[in-house]
Amino acid sequence: MPQRPAREPKQTTPPAPLRPRGTGSINLRPKEYQHTMPTNTTHALQVNQLTTDWLTEHRACKPQLAVYRETFGDSTVPITPDVILRAATAGLEIDWGARHLLTPTAWEEYNRTTRPAHDKYNQTRTRIWEEHQHTDAAIWDEYQHTTASAWNECYQAHTDAWNEYYKAHTSALKECDRDYADSWEVCDQAHTSAWEKYNRTSTTATEKYNKDCAAAWEKCSHASATATEKYNKDHTSAQEELNLACAHALIHIIWGNNTPNT
């Protein structure tokens, strides 16, 4: 008999929550920066410019260092509103930069300012993850139902074919027992014919079962991939919204109402 395929294991826990502020690496995206550091900034910043050496010293991760170099090369980058907004637009982590750039007092103010944005992000992330889990569960429940139905149909076909074979085989043996010498050849032919019919029927049933399972697998895999793609897109959108909100908060913490035009 064919073996029933096991359902593909799926993820049952949500992705890791947003990395706590103060860990990870800065994200800066690519475009020209033309602003110079204003001379009348507050004392919110510990440094006024970024370099690859500074990022390395503060343990920025390799992928983010690569993005930084791709964006700014190995040049020194003055910290301006334009640079901060470009970093947020790139989807790179503003929280990490704020944690390492701001003074302790400014960092506390930044945390208070961005808390609503983080709360909104976490609520959105939880909601879209639950929606994704619900959708994915329904997809694979359909797969299980389809393959179970196909299995029952296949099993029934095998059983019916076997019963028919056994009945023909038993009948042939009875005929053979009554007149062994004259009927053995007829009995053997009947047995062979019944066995071949059983094999044809069971093979056809197995092939149909495998075909039905393959079609169900393809359909559900595609649907699951589409649902995952939607979740990732929605999650990325929520992250981008959070990063942009954090960027505006950081700009306000540093320059207040004296933010230079970008």
Return d(Cα 99, Cα 22) in angstroms, integer.
5
- C-alpha 103: how far from chain center: 37
Amino acid identity of residue 179, one-letter, is D
Q: At 10, which helix (H) or strand (E)?
A: none
The pLDDT value recorded for residue 67 is: 76
User: What pLDDT shows up at residue 183?
Assistant: 61
Contacts by 36-44, CB closer than 8 A, 24 or more apart: 36/78, 36/80, 37/78, 37/79, 37/80, 38/80, 38/255, 38/258, 38/260, 40/258, 41/254, 41/255, 41/258, 42/106, 42/254, 42/255, 42/256, 43/103, 44/102, 44/103, 44/105, 44/106, 44/253, 44/254
Contact 32, 256 (CB under 8 A): no
pLDDT at res. 4: 52
pLDDT for the residue numbered 192:
84
What integer pLDDT is reported at residue 29 of this predicted model?
36
Tens-binned pLDDT, residue by residue, of the chain (262 aa): 555 555 544 555 555 444 444 334 333 333 333 333 333 345 799 999 988 899 889 998 888 788 778 777 888 889 999 988 887 887 678 899 999 999 999 999 999 999 999 999 999 999 999 999 999 999 999 999 999 999 999 999 989 989 988 888 787 777 666 655 556 676 777 778 888 888 999 999 999 999 999 999 999 999 999 999 999 999 999 999 999 999 999 999 999 866 665 5
According to the model, what pLDDT value does residue 10 have?
Answer: 54
